[in-house]
Structure formats: structure tokens, C-alpha cells
Amino acid sequence: MTQLSKGQIEDSIAKQVTKFYVKALGVGPRETRVYLVEDMIIIRLKGKLLPIEQKLLEYEQGVKLVKNIREILHEITVPGLMSIIKAVTKQNVTSSHSDISTKTGEIVQVYVLDINYEERLKETDTYGRL
């Protein structure tokens, strides 16, 4: 079995995450970027706020409400996203973090793996399959 490159891993996760959101929420991001940095998988979802979120921002507590809604959505979707990451990387996710910009609708998620996966890929490239 051939080892995927860092770019192929990032691309595979990005495509699967986009499909996951479309299936789970009925709407996906306009653009999904994935970055593998040491033991982190960073997912950047570009999109826009939902109409209800834009409406909530008109109120005094709007930012807090939008952040709370997105925090709940993250908790609901995290098992599916962790399973995508594990399927592609073959590594366990130890924690996840997420935030949304209430100005642009952009979401940044960070998934922390149980090893320095970027280093592992470099070692595999250098020394062949481990």
C-alpha cells in the first residue's frame, strides 16, 4: 500500500469534510482548506453566515448566540469529522477546537492527533514504510 503525501492527505480530508457538511447540514462551505501542522489537522471552512445567524447579530446578545449555536453544531458534528480524520490518517484524535468569525462566517477547526503526524510522514518518506 502506497503512503499518501502530506498534500494528498490534506486534500482527501478537505473533500470528505465538505461532503460531510453537505450531507449532515444540507449546506457546505464555499471552500475548505486543510493544513497538517505537526500533530494538528487545521480545517478552514470559508462560507457565510446563515440567514438566521445574520438576523441574530442584529441583537445585543447576537454574537454570543451565534457562537453558542456553532459550538453546539461543532459538538454534534465532531464525531463524524474525527472519524474522517482517523480514516485518512490512521491516527486517533485527542481533542478538537472550533471558532467562527461572526463578521465573515469563516470557521477554523483544530483537531489534535495523538502523535506528531507531520514528523511521521517525513520519517516515512525518508526511510520508507515504518
Domain 26-120: which CATH number of 3.10.360, 2.40.50, 3.30.70, 1.10.10: 3.30.70
What residues have CB less than 8 Å from 5, skipping those under 6 apart?
Answer: 121
pLDDT tens per residue, range 22-36: 998 888 899 999 999
pLDDT at 127 > cutoff 90: no
pLDDT tens per residue, range 59-112: 999 999 999 999 999 999 999 999 999 999 999 999 999 999 999 999 999 999
94-to-17, 40, 86, 111 alpha-carbon distances in Å: 18, 10, 11, 8
